Structure 1
Amino acid sequence: MNTPLAFPALSAAIAPIACGFVIALALVWAVWLGIRIRQREPGPPDPAEQPKLPASGPVHEIQEVREPDEVPTVDDHGARLTPHRLRGHGNMSIRRSANQTPRRWRGDSGGGLGSGGTGRP
C-alpha cells in the first residue's frame, strides 16, 4: 500500500536550504549593521588629546594606619543597630593612628594554618 506523503520529497530537500539561506542573510545583515554603527563612532584620540602627567609628577599611593573604630551594638534606646545605621555605613575610621608602623607577624609565629611556622602564639 502506497500512501502519499504529507511533506513531499522535494520540499524536504528545499526547506533546509531555504532556512540556511535565511540564516546567512540575517548574518550578513548583522555584519552590515555593525559596520554602519562602527563608522558613526568617534575615532581614537590624537596624541595631543591624550592625558598628561601633572607638573608635580606621577601621583603615588598613600598608605597610613588608622585607629580601630569601636562598633556599637545598640543605639541610645537599646535597639540593635543594623549595618545601614552604623556611623559611616560601617566604613573604616577617619582617625589617623599616632603609630604609623604597619603591624607585622611576630618572627616565631607562622601567621596561618599550614604556613610552616611553629604554630605558637
Structure 2
Amino acid sequence: MQLAAASGLMSLVLFLVAVAVLTMLAGSFWLGSRIKFREPPRPRPEEQPHLPAEGPVHEIRENRESEEVPWIPKGERPLTPYELSNQQTRPSTSKDRPRWSKGSSGSFGGGGLGAH
C-alpha cells in the first residue's frame, strides 16, 4: 500500500525531469539560431541563375559505342586491369536504337525467360 501512495519526492523528481527537458529544448533552439545567424544570407532574386542568351539548352540523343577490349593472341599473357586504359565511348554510325532480343528482359535477374 505504501508503494502505491503518492509521495512528495516522486513529484519533485518528475518536476525536475520536466524542467531538464524544457531546458534542453530551449538550449537547442538557442544553439540553432546561433548557427543560422552565422550562415551566409540567401541569394536575392537578381543573384539567381538566368537562361543563356541563346535560350534553353536541349538534350542531344545519340547512340554511343564503347572501345573494343584489346585482343590477345593465343599463348601471350593476358592484360591486367591496370594495363587497360579507361574505356572511352564514341558516337555510333548507326542511328537505330539498340533493342533487347525478343523474350529477354534486358537485365540479369530481371525475371524474363531470357534468350533461348
TM-score (norm 1): 0.61
Partner of 1:41: 39
Bigger relative CO (Cα 8 Å, ≥ 6 apart): 2
Q: Give me the whole-angstrom Cα distance separating, in 2, the residues matched to 1:29 and 1:85.
A: 58
Code of the residue aligned with 1:18 in structure 2: it is L
Contact 2:63–2:91 (8 Å) recurs in 1: yes
Partner of 1:60: 58
Sort the Cα spacing of 1:34 and 1:73 in 2 relative to 1 into closer, same or farther, 3 A: farther
Partner of 2:26: 28
Query: Is 1:78–2:73 an aligned residue pair?
Result: no
Match among 88, 97, 100 for residue 102 of structure 1:
97
Query: Shift in Å at residue 62 of structure 1?
Result: 1.9
CA RMSD of aligned residues (A): 3.1
Query: Shift in Å at residue 10 of structure 1?
Result: 3.0
SS of alignment partner, residue 34 of structure 1: helix
Query: Shift in Å at residue 13 of structure 1?
Result: 2.4
Code of the residue aligned with 2:89 in structure 1: it is I
Sort the Cα spacing of 1:111 and 1:80 in 2 relative to 1 into closer, same or farther, 3 A: same
Q: Give me the whole-angstrom Cα distance separating, in 2, the residues matched to 1:49 and 1:120.
A: 55
Runs of 5+ unmatched residues, structure 1: 1-8
**Aligned residues: percent identity?**
36
SS of alignment partner, residue 36 of structure 2: helix
Structure ranking higher in strand proportion: 2
